[in-house]
């Protein structure tokens, strides 16, 4: 176990009752995200988070002059083992088993409150065919939100514009959530596999591309995990 507050190797699925959905139920994940993201915004205002339980789900809440925000966890790695079962099943079983470990580097926070009875960002990015839960495509939609450009998630992101305004711009959002390893030096998104348009299928079309797709996500996970280690060594130790 790490001597620092956050053990980046800890698998939340090993906690009692968390094997299926640690994002909703893991107290350790909830605590780790509170520690990571209770910090100064680009405006220097503090974004303090408190741990709450809402409808049986463990979430995080901020309430101040900035507004009221309730946030829930979501994964940013996806094997797409359902729609891509033909590729998933060709991967070695130990590789697939290791893939499904649930660590802090593979988790992000989004607002979870419903606005006007419509779906949350987590729900929209999972159900929108052009995104299909890919986090790189989600991040591209967020980049476009800040740039005033369209995307398949434009309406959903606009419903939470007060949340995204906290970070002022795309760089502020990326820096706050330690997503730097998924962004190029020029501020563009570093896609897992080549991307040209949301009009095309988000899925790899060959097994070789699927391997690249998986490996790119693992590279991002490794980079983000290191950023978390560096951050907590400097700020949380």
Q: Tens digit of pLDDT for each residue in 178-202?
A: 999 999 999 999 999 999 999 999 9
Q: What is the pLDDT of residues 100-153, one digit of tens each?
A: 889 999 999 999 998 988 999 999 999 999 999 999 999 999 999 999 999 999
Q: Is the pLDDT of residue 236 over 80?
A: no
Q: Please report the pLDDT score of residue 1 as a whole number.
A: 41
Query: Strands 50-54, 46-47: parallel, antiparallel or unpaired by DSSP?
Result: unpaired
CA 39 – CA 44 distance, rounded (Å) = 9
pLDDT tens profile 63-74: 999 999 999 999
Q: Is the pLDDT of residue 3 over 60?
A: no
The CA distances from residue 203 to 21, 85, 127, in Å, are 24, 12, 14
Can you spell out the DSSP letters for 84-114? THHHHTTS-HHHHHHHT---GGGEEEEE-S-
Alpha helices in the chain (DSSP H): 22-25, 27-37, 85-88, 93-99, 121-127, 135-147, 154-159, 161-165, 170-176, 207-235
What pLDDT is recorded for position 110? 96
Rounded mean pLDDT, 37-64: 95
Element (H, E) at 58: strand 57-64
Give the 3-state secondary structure of 120-147: CHHHHHHHCCCCCCCHHHHHHHHHHHHH
Contact partners, residue 200, CB within 8 Å, separation at least 6: none
What pLDDT, in 10s, does the model give residues 11-21? 999 999 998 89
Answer whether residue 229 shows pLDDT above 50: yes
Task: Report pLDDT digits (tens) over 90-108.
Answer: 999 988 888 888 999 999 9
Q: Which residues pair with 211 in a beta bridge?
A: none
Alpha carbon 218 to its chain centroid, in Å, reads 14
pTM for the whole thing? 0.94
Q: How many residues does the chain have?
A: 237
């Amino acid at each position: 176990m790490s001597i620092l507050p956050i053990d980046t190797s800890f698998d939340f699925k090993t906690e009692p009752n968390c094997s299926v959905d640690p994002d909703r139920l893991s107290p350790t994940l909830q605590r780790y995200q509170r520690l990571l993201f209770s910090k100064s915004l680009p405006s220097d205002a503090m974004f303090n988070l408190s741990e709450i339980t809402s409808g049986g789900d463990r979430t995080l809440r901020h309430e101040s002059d900035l507004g009221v925000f309730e946030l829930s966890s979501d994964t940013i790695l996806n094997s797409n083992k359902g729609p891509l079962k033909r590729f998933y099943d060709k991967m070695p079983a130990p590789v697939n088993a290791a893939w499904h470990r649930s660590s802090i580097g593979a988790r992000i926070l989004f607002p979870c409150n419903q606005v006007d009875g419509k779906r949350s960002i987590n729900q929209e990015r999972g159900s929108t065919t052009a995104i299909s839960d890919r986090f790189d495509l989600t991040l591209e939609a967020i980049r476009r939100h800040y740039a005033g450009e369209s995307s398949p998630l434009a309406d959903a992101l606009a419903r939470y514009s007060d949340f995204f305004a906290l970070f002022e711009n795309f760089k502020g959002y990326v820096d706050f959530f330690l997503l730097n390893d998924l962004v190029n030096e020029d501020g563009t998104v570093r896609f897992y596999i080549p991307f040209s348009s949301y009009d095309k299928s988000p899925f790899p079309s060959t097994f070789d591309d699927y391997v690249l797709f998986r490996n790119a996500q693992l590279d991002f996970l490794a980079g983000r995990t290191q950023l978390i280690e560096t951050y907590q060594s400097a700020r949380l130790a």
